[in-house]
A and B are shown apart, each in its own frame.
Chain A
């Protein structure tokens, strides 16, 4: 039968050792435990991620096909417009813009939705016990599914405008794995900070918008650097982390030679990012339920 002691009573003997063998809310054990348990619930976030996509196109005839269609429309329009502005060859520039947009969509999706990942799931967090990482996995999985839908556009473009694809194209697979891994830490880190400080999501939204224009997606880095008038300024784009993320993925997808410099930069960012996200998760994981 339950024996309960009020605060003033002496502690029950059983209570003492218990307080020591349970790891506190701020422990690495619990932080990694959260990631592990979230991973174990793959069927759940796998299902929810699919639902998110189906939900968006519920009752529409074409359904998720709209993702690919709208991507194709935007990529074509932008490719033609910016191709004309920069006087580029349409056969190379249209695929360049399209692939850049594909990759950017994944990156910006992870960043924008990442900062809202816990705020958007407020209800679930406050009413159902589940690991925090579950929401992050669900988000990254959903973005991955979007990306896979958009990949159709790439396939079509590669058929219309043949590119020298070869074995190096397979480098796109590890490159995407790296993008996914980075989506994870971004969502954890910005998600936790944005849950506490609600000014963060709008800031992130405007910065992301800015980064889009600073990243060679609708313009070509090579072309600007080769122009002596703006070469100096164009090189500043190297300071933009998004450039390196886009490059590691775009180069293999277009059959361009792989430049290792981008991989080194991305590798460092991945490690530093995850370290920051893990520290944040360790210290504030238990606080998120209070903050949402």
Chain B
């Protein structure tokens, strides 16, 4: 993995991000129109010191996660949730500070990416597995398990373009949960599956995290988060506004005790 030392090694998985920042240069934006530093409600801070406008997507991020952590990522659109997930996966290396990720990372970000619509579901499973560091043999041994979990059956030999969004989500989740990842990073979007499958996926994710790893889950659905996570990180304007028990963070973020409402239902 290209990530920051995402070596598969011995020892428990961990993520340590120290004082990290992520700046995006925006080459095609006219710097003139961005002369005034904008600090709106959505998005990170846009700086203009250099010639190329820069979006400070993340600033002063300090996170340290250990085995067994199940973390919810909450925040407005553009608050930096996805960027933080990609920092954790090692796709982005911090422009400032350091990030250290130890363990086998399995990201589920954009479901369309890394999936070839023209080839069959089975081939896509294989490619995705290879991308995540598995061997061909290991993947072949898991195909049955994935087929059973995703309930896609004969559809697996059909080209992926014939799949619905929900079926793609099933496939992607099937792959990442079958390869025993140590660090599982889920971005919003897995909400496309039906409730029945979600319950099944939840059990599997739960089991997985119990066994071996760290889960970080970005979502706007409080119900999913309440099901899967224990703690939460509240992202705001590219910084971590709060990190603590899920209930408290969600309460502060939403302004009311969301979990209590679920319980009272």
Contacts and interface: CB of A to CB of B under 8 A. Distances in A.
B119 A51 contact: yes
Nearest to B92: A289
A109 B100 CA distance: 38
B130 A5 contact: no
15 contacts: A1-B69, A3-B64, A6-B62, A18-B16, A19-B98, A22-B4, A43-B135, A44-B131, A55-B118, A124-B131, A127-B91, A130-B131, A289-B93, A290-B23, A291-B27
A7 interface: yes
A92 to B, nearest CB: 43
B2 A129 contact: yes
* Interface core residue of A4, A11, A55, A289 (most chain B CB under 10 Å): A4
A123 B2 contact: no
A46 to B, nearest CB: 10
Contacts, number: 131
A283 interface: no
Contacts of A123: 110, 112-114
B177 interface: no
Interface in B158-173: none
B76 interface: no
Interface of A: 1-7, 9, 11-12, 14-15, 18-19, 22-25, 34, 37, 41, 43-44, 47-48, 51, 55, 58, 123-132, 196, 198, 285-286, 289-291
Contacts of B98: 18-19, 22, 24
Given A6-B240, A290-B25, A58 B107 contact: no
Nearest to A9: B62
A23 to B, nearest CB: 8
A291 B91 contact: no
Contacts of B227: none
B18 A43 contact: no
Given A126-B91, A130-B1, 17 more contacts: A2-B64, A2-B69, A4-B64, A6-B60, A19-B18, A22-B5, A37-B1, A48-B127, A51-B116, A51-B119, A58-B118, A127-B113, A128-B113, A129-B89, A129-B107, A196-B27, A290-B92
Given A126-B91, A129-B6, A2 B231 contact: yes
Contacts of A131: 1-2
A7 B96 CA distance: 13
Nearest to B136: A43
Interface residues of B, number: 56
Contacts of A7: 19, 59-60, 62, 239
B99 to A, nearest CB: 8
A37 B2 contact: yes
A128 B243 contact: no
Nearest to A38: B2
Given A15-B16, A18-B18, A48-B127, A129 B93 contact: no
Interface in B49-97: 59-60, 62-66, 69, 71, 86, 89-95
B69 A22 contact: no
A249 B130 CA distance: 35
B153 to A, nearest CB: 24
B3 interface: yes
Contacts of B119: 51, 55
B257 to A, nearest CB: 22
Nearest to B185: A129
A4 B63 contact: yes
A127 B2 contact: no
* Interface core residue of B60, B98, B136, B231 (most chain A CB under 10 Å): B98
A286 B94 CA distance: 9
Given A15-B18, A126-B91, A130-B131, A4 B240 contact: yes
Given A4-B243, A126-B91, A291-B25, A15 B109 contact: no
A12 B65 CA distance: 13
B147 to A, nearest CB: 20
A43 B140 CA distance: 13
Contacts of B113: 123-124, 126-128
B126 interface: yes
Given A127-B109, A132-B2, A2 B62 contact: no
Interface in B136-182: 136
